[in-house]
Each structure stands twice: as structure tokens, then as C-alpha cells.
């Protein structure tokens, strides 16, 4: 019977044992990826670290901090082969619920100025652009601006 049950993709907390798979995706989707240490530090610091999992494999993940009434999404990724299927939005909605449950009043994130796809998703969810951080990100041959976005919760 259980062998016939369909596995349903789900969101769960990130563990250190997920890092091998996470690093592969991270290096696939970002030109300037986070390191294993960045993810390890996020977990040991008590940040809210979650993964998307299907059939025992990770296909997305995100990290958020919450404090002083503010939440910040530090990173959000969906593996290249699973993008534009609604999973990025689902993970973001999970973070929005979590931030509300912790009484955060705003959720912030930064996005590269050139990352129009991600910014479009955030705007659709209700984020608005509130500031630009000049030269915030490393880029090929220089630096790139970050657009700071806020969702009022
Ligand atoms: C940004 C990201 C997390 C979104 O997750 P996703 O699962 O692909 O997004 P969803 O399926 O939930 O939403 C798709 C919507 O987002 C926008 N979008 C996402 N990626 C896009 C792209 N490459 N080009 C254009 N629009 C894009 C569109 O509005 C799209 O809607 P549509 O498919 O109906 O046109 C994912 O694409 C990703 O990991 N990208 C690489 C890493 C990255 O840029 N992370 C964000 C850093 S701030």
C-alpha cells in the first residue's frame, strides 16, 4: 500500500546532512554562490533555514532571519530544472507565514538589479522597491546594485 502512495514535494527544516545537495544547486544557480560555511553558520545561528524536498532529494531552499519586528530573506533558490513551477513562491509564502507568526511587521530582501525574473515574482507577491544599495553585490568585472524590497506584513 505505502509503495503506491504518491510522494508529495514538501517544505521542511534544513539539516547539515542536506548541505551536499544544497551546495550543488547553489553553484548551479548563482555565479557568486554561498559557501557550505555560510549555510552552516546560518543554521548554527538559529536562522530559519528550510528546504524543498521531493523523494528524498532537495530541489530548493531558503534562509530567513527574524528579529526586532523585522524579517529578512537572505537567500532563496530553486534548482534550475524545477524553476517556474510555483515552488519559489510556495517557499516565500512559507517564510511570510513564519515571519507573521513571529510578529514581524515587515519582510525585507535584496535582489540584483539585473535579476528581473526574481524581482517580478516578489512584486507579484506584494513586495515594493524601497531603496538601492549601490555596488552591493560582486559581479563579473565589477559590482552590481541591489534593489531592497519590502513586504508589509
Ligand atoms: C527566483 C526563484 C527563487 C523563483 O523560484 P521559481 O520556483 O522559479 O518561481 P515560481 O515558479 O514560484 O514563480 C515564477 C514567476 O517568477 C517570475 N520568474 C521567476 N524566474 C523567472 C525568470 N527566469 N524569468 C522571468 N520570470 C521569472 C515570473 O513572474 C514567474 O511567473 P511565470 O512563470 O508565470 O512567468 C528561482 O527562479 C531561482 O532560484 N532563481 C535563481 C536564483 C535566484 O535568482 N534567487 C533569488 C535571489 S534574490
Q: Where are the beta strands (DSSP E) in the chain?
A: 10-13, 48-54, 57-67, 70-78, 106-112, 128-139, 142-152
Closest-CA residue, ligand 1 atom 20, reads 117
Q: How far is the CA of 19 from the centre of ligand 1 (A)?
A: 22
Q: Tell me the pLDDT tens digit for each residue of 58-86.
A: 999 999 999 999 999 999 999 999 999 99
**Is 3's pLDDT higher than 50?**
no
Q: How far away, in angstroms, is 30 Cα from ligand 1 center?
A: 13
Query: Ligand 1 site: residues with CB under 6 angstroms?
Result: 29, 76-78, 83-89, 111, 115, 117-118, 120-121, 124
Query: What pLDDT does 2 receive?
Result: 43
Nearest-CA residue for ligand 1 atom 44 is 118
Which CATH code, of 3.40.630.30, 3.90.1150.10, 3.30.300.30, 3.40.50.720, is assigned to 2-152? 3.40.630.30
How many other C-beta atoms are found inside a 10 Å radius of the C-beta of residue 49? 21
What is the mean pLDDT of the segment spanning 39-54? 98
Neighbours of 73 (CB within 10 A): 24
**pLDDT at position 97:** 97
Q: How confident is the model at residue 1 (pLDDT cuts 50, 70, 90)?
A: very low
5 pLDDT band, cuts 50/70/90, is low
Ligand 1, atom 7, lies closest to the CA of 88
Q: Which of 14, 119, 135, 11 lies closest to 63 in space, CA to CA?
A: 14
Q: Residue 6 — very low, low, confident or very high, per pLDDT cuts 50/70/90?
A: low
* Ligand 1, atom 25, residue with closest C-alpha: 117
pLDDT at residue 147, as a whole number? 98
In the chain, domain spans: 2-152
Amino acid at each position: 500500500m505505502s509503495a503506491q502512495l504518491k510522494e508529495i514535494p514538501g517544505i521542511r527544516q534544513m539539516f547539515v546532512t542536506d548541505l551536499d545537495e544544497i551546495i550543488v544547486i547553489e553553484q548551479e544557480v548563482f555565479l557568486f554562490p554561498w559557501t557550505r560555511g555560510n549555510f552552516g553558520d546560518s543554521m548554527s545561528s538559529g536562522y530559519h533555514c528550510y528546504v524543498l524536498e521531493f523523494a528524498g532529494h532537495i530541489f530548493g531552499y531558503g534562509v530567513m532571519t527574524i528579529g526586532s519586528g523585522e524579517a529578512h530573506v537572505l537567500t532563496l533558490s530553486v534548482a534550475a530544472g524545477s524553476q517556474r513551477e510555483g515552488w519559489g513562491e510556495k517557499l516565500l509564502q512559507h517564510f511570510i507565514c513564519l515571519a507573521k507568526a513571529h510578529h514581524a511587521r515587515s519582510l525585507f530582501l535584496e535582489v540584483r538589479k539585473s535579476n528581473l525574473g526574481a524581482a517580478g515574482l516578489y512584486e507579484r507577491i506584494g513586495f515594493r522597491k524601497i531603496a538601492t544599495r549601490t555596488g552591493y553585490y560582486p559581479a563579473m568585472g565589477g559590482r552590481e546594485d541591489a534593489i531592497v524590497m519590502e513586504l508589509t506584513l
